[in-house]
Amino acid sequence: MLEAREITASYGSTPVLHGLSTRFAAGRVTALVGPNGCGKSTLLKAVMGFLPLAGGEIRLAGQPIRQIGRQSLARRIAYLPQECRCPDYMTLGELIELAGYARYSLVGGPSDHDRRLFREALEIVGLSDKAGAQVNALSGGQRQRAWIAMVLAQDTDIIMMDEPVNHLDMKYQYAVLGLVRELSVRHGKTVIVVLHDLNLTSAFADDVMMLRDGRVVAAGPVEQALTAANVERVFDLKADIFDRGGRLVCLPRMQRVESMPA
C-alpha cells in the first residue's frame, strides 16, 4: 500500500536516509524504532513530501507520491508531527473541523458527512463533552487525544504519528496507544508510529521496523524482528527478550552500581 524504494534524503549537506527500502502492510500497526537521528521522523517527512528526496521513490498504491497533489494526499494520509500547537483561543471543536479542509470546496464548509465524522472522532477519543473547551486548557493526556481525534476526523486510510506519547506519563502512554491500536483493529486503519520504548512496541504494534544510520536493520512482525541480536545491532545494547503472557518483554542487561557503605 505504501512503499519506499531506495530513498535517499538529507538535511542540507547532512545525509539521513541512505538507499532505504521498505513497505508498510495495510491494516496493521507498524512501529518505527531506533536511536535518535536514525531517520525515523525523516522517513515520515519524506512520505509527506516535506523533505525532498535526493534519490529513490515513494509509492502509494502503486503511484509515485510526487505525482499526488497536496490536497489529494491529505485525503489519503493523515500525519501527526512530534510537536502540535494551536492558538489559545481555539476550541476543541474548531480544531477538529480543521481535519476536513482537504474535503471542502473553495466556497463551502463542512458537509453533514464531515460533521458526523467530527462527532464520531470525539466520541472515539472520549472527548465528546469537551468540544467547547479551549484545547490549551485541556490536560496533557486530553490534548494528545484531541490531536488524535483531529487525525481520525481527517478520515484517511493511513495514519502516521511521530512520537505521540513522548511527553506523557505511563497511564496516558498506554491509553493513547490503546486508542491507536483500536484505529487499526476496529476501524481498519494502517498506522505508522514512531516509538522509543520497545516494550510499548511489543504491546501495541503488529510489525516493527528497526532503523540505524538511515537504513533498515530489521523489519517484520514484532515476534520475529524484535530479538536480542537486533536490539544489540540497532542500539548497541545487550538485552534479554522473553515472552510474558504472550507478549515480548525487553529487559536491558545492566551492571548494578552498589551504593557506598554507610
Q: What is the CATH number of the domain that holds 163?
A: 3.40.50.300
Domain shared by 160 and 143, yes or no: no
Q: What is the pTM of this model?
A: 0.89
- Would you list the DSSP string of 153-179? HT--SEEEEESTTTTS-HHHHHHHHHH
Domain shared by 11 and 61, yes or no: yes
Tell me the CA distances in angstroms from 162 to 32, 42, 130, 144, 146, one per residue in order.
9, 10, 25, 12, 15
Q: How many CB atoms lie within 10 A of CB 24?
A: 21
Domain shared by 164 and 243, yes or no: yes
Residues of the domain holding 222: 1-76+156-172+182-262
Domain shared by 191 and 67, yes or no: yes
Q: Give the pLDDT of residue 107.
A: 53
How far, in Å, CA of 98 to CA of 205, rounded? 28
Domain shared by 136 and 192, yes or no: no
**Within-domain flag for 177:** no
Amino acid found at 191: V
Give the relative orientation of helices 170-185 and 140-153 as an angle to the nearest 10 degrees: 10
**Within-domain flag for 262:** yes
User: CA triplet 202, 208, 214: central angle to 5 degrees?
Assistant: 135
Domain shared by 239 and 166, yes or no: yes
Q: Give the pLDDT of residue 166.
A: 81
**Within-domain flag for 57:** yes
**Within-domain flag for 133:** yes
Structure confidence by residue, pLDDT tens digits, 2-33:
999 999 999 888 889 999 999 999 999 999 99
Domain shared by 72 and 94, yes or no: no
Q: Looking at the predicted structure, is the pLDDT value of residue 105 above 60?
A: no
Domain shared by 214 and 139, yes or no: no
**Within-domain flag for 126:** yes
Mean pLDDT of 169-197: 90
| Cβ-contact 29, 181 below 8 angstroms | yes
Structure confidence by residue, pLDDT tens digits, 115-164:
888 888 888 888 999 999 999 999 888 888 899 888 888 889 999 999 98
The single residue listed with the C-alpha cell 513522548 is 166
Close Cβ partners of 114 (under 8 Å, ≥ 6 residues apart): 97, 100, 103, 104
The mean-pLDDT minimum among 38-47, 96-105, 119-128, 179-188 falls in 96-105
For the chain, the domain total comes to 2
**Within-domain flag for 9:** yes
Domain shared by 141 and 190, yes or no: no
How far, in Å, CA of 66 to CA of 50, rounded? 11
C-alpha cell at 91: 476550541
Domain shared by 230 and 117, yes or no: no
Domain shared by 21 and 62, yes or no: yes
**Within-domain flag for 81:** no
Q: How many angstroms from the chain centroid is the CA of residue 91?
A: 24
Domain shared by 113 and 135, yes or no: yes
How far, in Å, CA of 175 to CA of 188, rounded? 19
Tell me the CA distances in angstroms from 237 to 214, 227, 255, one per residue in order.
18, 12, 12
How far, in Å, CA of 239 to CA of 229, rounded? 8
**Within-domain flag for 146:** yes
Q: Give the pLDDT of residue 222.
A: 97
